[in-house]
Structure 1
Amino acid sequence: MTDAELESVVAAVSTVLRRTVSLVRPLSGGQHARTLLVEDSTTEYVVRLFPPLDNAVTHEPQILDRIASLGDLAPRLVATGKYRESPFIVTSVVPGGPPAPGLPLRDIAAQMAAVLARIHQLDGVGLRTLSWQPPHGDSTIETHARQAWKQLDPADHVLTHYDFWCGNALWDGAKLTGVVDWSGARSAPRELDISWCRLDLVLLGSIDAADQFLTVYERESGHSLLDTRTWDLMAAARSASRVESWAPNYLGIGKPDLTARVLRSRMDDWTSLLCTK
């Protein structure tokens, strides 16, 4: 996005807020929306600009209302608007950034599991639901996932984040301070969030941390999860063919070591393990 386009987006935000705001800086992380930090004379805001005709502006506000009980852990809706054909959402700023360098992955896993247990206690009734279909394709992981598909029970739905990974968690040093990017949230089985975060922890380099995540989640939520492997298969089948494309996302949260080659290697090791269990 050019400087002139950025200025035009900020001007559109000013119009919606009915006060002048200025660009502080673009924010990194994620590829779905372009994210900006703006400010008026007293307050900073986060602006997320979505692709043309994206439905986030109609969907996310009701999610932010549902998760208000999370308090400072979640953003608060300020306004919605449009720049040309691209909708945008303005929210409050959730303080924090990437986890402290050197923070053990087991600590990251434990805190993310605890906050996910809180999220899954919230009301998901009436939200859009998961588009439920078996994995396609002929790769080994997709074949195994498709064979395991019939074992899943999709009936127990909760409010899921739907993209629960470390890039959507914010930290103040060693403490988790918030969860952002709720545009995909929906009513779905809790295991969808759990397996997605476990995959992220594996890609970060620790199967042990992924297991720690599961242990803490079960303790904090009171739910014993019986079919973790099948859901791990589903998460891997959703992403194995495109994992290299996630390298910019990890770079955006301070993980330059997670190159496309590293991500591919760790994904291949994980899918091999899942397919031999």
Structure 2
Amino acid sequence: MINDEGRGPGRPSVAVRPLTLAWVERQLEAGEAVVGVAALHGGITAEMRRLTIAAPDGGTRELVLRSFVDVERSDEWLGREAGALTLLAASVVPAPGLVGFDPAAEQCEYPSLLMTHLAGRTVLRDECLSERVAALARQLVEIHAVRPVERPGEYVALTTADTVVPPKGSDAAVWAAAIEVIREPAPAYDGRFLHRDFQPGNVLFEGSRITGVVDWAGACWGPTDLDVAHCATNLALLHGTAWGLRFAAAYEEAGGVLAANASERLYWQVRDPLAASEDVEFFSQPWREAGRPELTTQAVEQRLDAYVIAVMDALG
């Protein structure tokens, strides 16, 4: 019987489903077996399980199982992630190693991917922020330096001018001006390999040192500004406007290259917080579950409004 480490009073089982467990065991080395399962929290779109694998010699190792349950285009997401992990295996980027994947759920109950487990933890509190922001910037420069032989798919915009949802009580004039910015055609750009969801929740730390970058399902090709803007928005909502504004400068200090002029930078930098406006609860709930209970939907909306105002003031 597999240990159900994540189960407790009032909590649902985290056991691996039978077909998926059988598939996982076919990916293992001869004589290995799954002996422990624990839930990994903080993910938004997928079920995450840490699996303890026992070897015949008595040793153990850990793998991570990622399953998409009722998620549209899950085969595409897992295909992107598998391709990214394969590409990154030969890079300096600390990404998980691909063990196996079943994007169409031909053998598992749901589309799934199995990968190696990385040491470290996500850090969403304000501890050592200056050092961590600098480390995040350096890491993102390394990601953008990856040169794939075959380019991944082009980025997809996460919002339009007509789908933005300004928070209640926000500065209507500033938001209207920001919406008009993204109504214009996207500026020309030199494409790079992007993570597309690079932010503190997908980076593992030991102290102020990065030990891993996870969740590569959105890997794509596009402007570096997109990744920088996404991380900056998350920093602003987690830690305050000043940290969001600081990230672009930290990225350039680390050797990264952004759009050439202020109007181009504004287009990319404001696009991401406007996208976040469409479902603040969707991404703020995992932050509360991870130990930031003060980040209520209302509090995050207020930070989002402050950040959009600051971006428009700095670059508009």
TM-score normalized by the length of structure 1: 0.88
1:233 and 1:102 mapped to 2: Cα distance? 24
Judge which range, 250-259 or 230-239, deviates more: 250-259
Residue segments in structure 2 that go unaligned for 5+ positions in a row? 1-10, 55-59, 167-171
Q: 1:59 to 1:224 in 2, by over 3 A?
A: closer
Q: Determine the structure 1 residue equivalent to 2:276.
A: 239
Q: 1:222 to 1:169 in 2, by over 3 A?
A: closer
Alignment pair present for 1:258 and 2:269: no
**Larger helix proportion, structure 1 or 2?**
1
Q: Determine the structure 2 residue equivalent to 1:130.
A: 155
Q: How does 1:62-211 map to 2 (within 5 A)?
A: 62-71=83-92, 73-81=94-102, 82=105, 84-99=108-123, 102-124=126-148, 125-131=150-156, 134-137=160-163, 139=166, 141=175, 144-150=178-184, 152-211=186-245
2:161 alignment partner AA: P
Q: 1:271 to 1:209 in 2, by over 3 A?
A: closer
Judge which range, 202-211 or 40-49, deviates more: 202-211
1:244 alignment partner AA: E
Q: How does 1:264-275 map to 2 (within 5 A)?
A: 264-275=301-312
Q: Determine the structure 1 residue equivalent to 2:169.
A: none
2:101 alignment partner AA: T
Residue segments in structure 1 that go unaligned for 5+ positions in a row? none
1:27 alignment partner AA: L
User: Identity across aligned pairs (percent)?
Assistant: 24
1:219 and 1:203 mapped to 2: Cα distance? 22
Quote the offset at 1:108 in angstroms.
Answer: 2.0
2:43 and 2:95 mapped to 1: Cα distance? 17
Q: Determine the structure 2 residue equivalent to 1:34.
A: 47
Quote the offset at 1:217 in angstroms.
Answer: 1.0
Q: Determine helix, strand or coil for the equivalent of 1:43.
A: strand
- 1:55-99 Cα distance to aligned partner (Å, 9 max, x none): 233222211122224447111101113464511111111111123
Quote the offset at 1:239 in angstroms.
Answer: 1.3
1:209 alignment partner AA: W
- 1:96-132 Cα distance to aligned partner (Å, 9 max, x none): 1123855232222111110000000112552111235
